[in-house]
């Protein structure tokens, strides 16, 4: 069901008539990552994917890269969207000149390159650097760090909106306006983004930490 929802989002985002916004390409990367991650999770659940070819090393390597590209893509495209929204809200005049669809496309490409580099380093880490601490490394890189960054940016966005609201109220001497109600509605939305992001990935964070600290409980 979730895969179908993501597929429909992909169709809309990649349709030629869809408006080109500054965050369109970031949303495309996020939705693609979500779609293939959910596809992998579905296959693992239905077909016990990890034991289909236990002796095929190339198969396991492929699954590792598929999993990490999608998971890190989901996290860091979310971080990139938070960064883009923070810049637009905090520096609206500069953002109008700097954050163009073309530059946003380049930014999305940079995020993808970063994700691929992170995945390659993670593969080297688990196989050649320190396999015993890989769960802690994954918990920090895939869960803790992206969540903290998203939290910080959304708090800064919230503060910028509050500051903008107070400034406009001082200049206009008006108690309320339609744009103020939009800002008020943005507050619970920002709160929901942080809560959902944290809750969805907190279980995996704890699982990896426990795998390192208490492996006997996770067997």
Q: Please report the pLDDT score of residue 183 as a whole number.
A: 46
**pLDDT surpassing 60 at residue 124:** yes
Q: Could you tell me the pLDDT band of residue 55, with boundaries at 50, 70 and 90?
A: low
Are 77 and 30 in contact by the 8 Å Cβ rule? The answer is: yes
**pLDDT surpassing 60 at residue 151:** yes
Comparing 6-15, 31-40, 43-52, 146-155, the range with the smallest average pLDDT is 43-52
**pLDDT surpassing 90 at residue 162:** no
Distance CA 47, CA 82 (A): 35
Of residues 96 and 14, more confidently modeled: 96
The secondary structure of the chain in percent helix, strand, coil, rounded to multiples of 5, reads: 85, 0, 15
Enclosing H/E stretch for 217 = none
**How far apart, in Å, are the Cα atoms of 167 and each of 55, 76, 93, 180, 185?**
65, 33, 16, 12, 18
Q: Please report the pLDDT score of residue 109 as a whole number.
A: 94
Q: Please report the pLDDT score of residue 180 as a whole number.
A: 47
Q: What is the mean pLDDT of residues 110-117?
A: 96
pTM (predicted TM-score): 0.78
**How far apart, in Å, are the Cα atoms of 109 and each of 16, 29, 102, 125, 208?**
19, 9, 11, 24, 29
Are 208 and 126 in contact by the 8 Å Cβ rule? The answer is: no
**pLDDT surpassing 60 at residue 181:** no
Cα torsion angle, 163, 165, 170, 175, sign: negative
**pLDDT surpassing 90 at residue 121:** yes
**pLDDT surpassing 70 at residue 205:** no
Comparing 2-11, 44-53, 190-199, the range with the smallest average pLDDT is 44-53
Question: What single string gives the DSSP state of each residue in 164-179?
Answer: HHHHHHHHH--S--HH
């Amino acid at each position: 069901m979730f895969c179908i929802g993501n597929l429909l989002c992909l169709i809309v985002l990649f349709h030629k008539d869809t408006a080109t916004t500054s965050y369109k390409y970031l949303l495309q990367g996020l939705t693609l990552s979500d779609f293939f991650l959910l596809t992998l999770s579905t296959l693992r659940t239905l077909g016990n994917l990890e034991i289909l070819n236990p002796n095929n090393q190339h198969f396991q390597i492929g699954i590792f890269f598929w999993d990490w590209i999608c998971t890190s893509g989901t996290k860091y495209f979310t971080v990139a969207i938070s960064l883009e929204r923070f810049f637009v809200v905090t520096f609206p005049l500069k953002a109008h000149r700097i954050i163009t669809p073309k530059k946003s496309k380049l930014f999305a490409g940079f995020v993808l390159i970063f994700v691929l580099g992170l995945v390659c380093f993670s593969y080297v880490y688990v196989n050649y650097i320190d396999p015993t601490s890989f769960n802690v490394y994954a918990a920090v890189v895939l869960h803790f760090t992206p969540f903290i960054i998203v939290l910080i940016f959304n708090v800064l966005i919230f503060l910028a909106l509050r500051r903008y609201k107070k400034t406009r109220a001082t200049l206009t001497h008006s108690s309320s306006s339609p744009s103020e109600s939009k800002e008020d509605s943005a507050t619970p939305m920002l709160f929901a983004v942080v809560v959902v992001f944290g809750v969805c990935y907190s279980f995996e964070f704890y699982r990896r930490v426990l795998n390192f600290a208490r492996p006997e409980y996770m067997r």
